[in-house]
């Protein structure tokens, strides 16, 4: 039987409409417009494209976005100074520093300089530390893993007690996804490039989150029948039959795995649209916290 297809575009559109309504209500009731500062250092075309997409989505839901495009030669001190200015700016409720930063910049120091209440990407060491601890809650959850959890909830899967396998241990996806699953009482296995007999480990999963960056690596015979599969992967592959000569695929061999899984996200059209949505949600939350703090 073919799996339920989890349509991230539909879920993201619905959530963005809810966010837009909440933003309008905030403007009407408090005279406050949520604001996101997006900081881009260097001229990585993919990063530029991501920042552009995020800013366009902000505009769509009524969030102000302020773009800061700095040259690749920007020094640590210059970037740090900008972060401090943004921390102090009351129009800015969230600060997004697009990663990766150029090699000469100390990423941890920059992320650590962002005021905790404005850390809408959830990458501040304190937010990540809280995510990693039992009984603690971060102020913000990183957008991509947050989106994965929303998708799991959309299909109504019981996370508590489930065997969850996370494929990948990056700081931005795999690790925080595993921590979130643990917070929800799943039994979590984290796989990476040194994991032995990957297919056998993946076959234990009731819930699989794949974030490895390897095109269509997860095959049908890796997947337990009925498992819920969330494919974070977004990989460009050559395809002479495609109009542009390439197409995008996930980390999961979608066509064959959908015949085995209980539910599955496509890629594109699954996690991707959720990532931006969760960033907008975090920015709205940052503005709500600022209003509550000011007693407005």
Write out the residues near ligand NDP by the rule CB under 6 A.
144, 168-170, 172-174, 191-195, 198, 211-214, 232-235, 271-272, 275
CB of 168 to ligand NDP, least distance (A): 3
- Active-site pick, 16, 98, 119, 231: 98
Strands of the sheet containing 64-70, edge to edge, are: 64-70, 35-41, 94-97
In the complex, what is the shortest distance from the CB of residue 115 to ligand NDP, in angstroms, rounded to a whole number? 24
Judged by CB, which is closer to ligand NDP: 83, or 210?
210
Instruction: Out of 16, 54, 64, 281, pick the active-site residue.
Output: 54
Q: Does 89 participate in catalysis according to the annotation?
A: no
Least distance to ligand NDP, CB of residue 217, Å = 6
Q: Give the three-state DSSP class for 93.
A: coil
Closer by beta carbon to ligand NDP, 186 or else 211: 211
* 3-state secondary structure at position 248: strand
Please name the residues in contact with 25: beta carbons below 8 A apart, sequence gap of 6 or more: none
Q: How far apart are CA 231 and CA 264, in angstroms?
A: 8
C-alpha 267/C-alpha 275 separation (Å) is 13
**Is 258 among the residues known to form the active site?**
no
Nearest residue (CB) to ligand NDP, 218 versus 287:
218
CA dist., res. 197 & res. 174, Å (int): 19
121 an active-site residue?
yes
Q: 187: part of which helix (H) or strand (E)?
A: strand 187-191
| Catalytic residue from among 64, 119, 121, 251 | 121
* Smallest gap from residue 234 Cβ to ligand NDP (A): 4
Cβ proximity to ligand NDP: between 80 and 169 the closer is 169
Can you read off the two tokens belonging to residue 44? 């990585």
**Which are the catalytic amino acids?**
54, 98, 121
């Amino acid at each position: 039987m073919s799996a339920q297809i989890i349509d991230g575009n539909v879920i993201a559109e619905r959530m963005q409409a809810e966010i837009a309504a909440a933003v309008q209500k905030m403007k009407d009731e408090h005279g406050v417009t949520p604001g996101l500062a997006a900081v881009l250092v260097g001229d990585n075309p993919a990063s530029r494209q991501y920042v552009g997409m995020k800013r366009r989505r902000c505009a769509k839901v009524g969030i102000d976005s302020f773009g800061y495009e700095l040259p690749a030669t920007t020094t640590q001190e210059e970037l740090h100074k900008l972060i401090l200015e943004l921390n102090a700016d009351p129009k800015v409720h969230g600060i997004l520093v697009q990663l990766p930063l150029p090699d000469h910049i100390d990423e941890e120091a920059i992320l650590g300089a962002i005021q905790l209440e404005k850390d809408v990407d959830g990458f501040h060491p304190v937010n990540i530390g809280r995510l990693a601890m039992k009984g603690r809650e971060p102020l913000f959850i990183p957008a991509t893993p947050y989106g994965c959890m929303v998708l799991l909830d959309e299909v109504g899967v019981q996370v508590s007690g489930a065997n969850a396998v996370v494929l990948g241990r990056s700081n931005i996806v795999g690790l925080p996804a595993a921590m979130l699953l643990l917070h929800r009482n799943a039994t979590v296995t984290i796989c990476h490039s040194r994991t032995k007999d990957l297919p056998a480990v993946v076959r234990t999963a009731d819930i699989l989150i794949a974030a490895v960056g390897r095109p269509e690596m997860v095959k049908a015979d890796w997947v337990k029948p009925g498992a819920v599969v969330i494919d974070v992967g977004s990989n460009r592959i050559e395809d002479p039959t495609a109009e542009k000569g390439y197409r995008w695929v996930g980390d999961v061999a979608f066509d064959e795995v959908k015949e085995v899984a209980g539910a599955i996200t496509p890629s594109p059209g699954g996690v991707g649209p959720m990532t931006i949505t969760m960033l907008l949600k975090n920015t709205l939350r940052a503005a709500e916290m600022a209003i509550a703090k000011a007693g407005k």
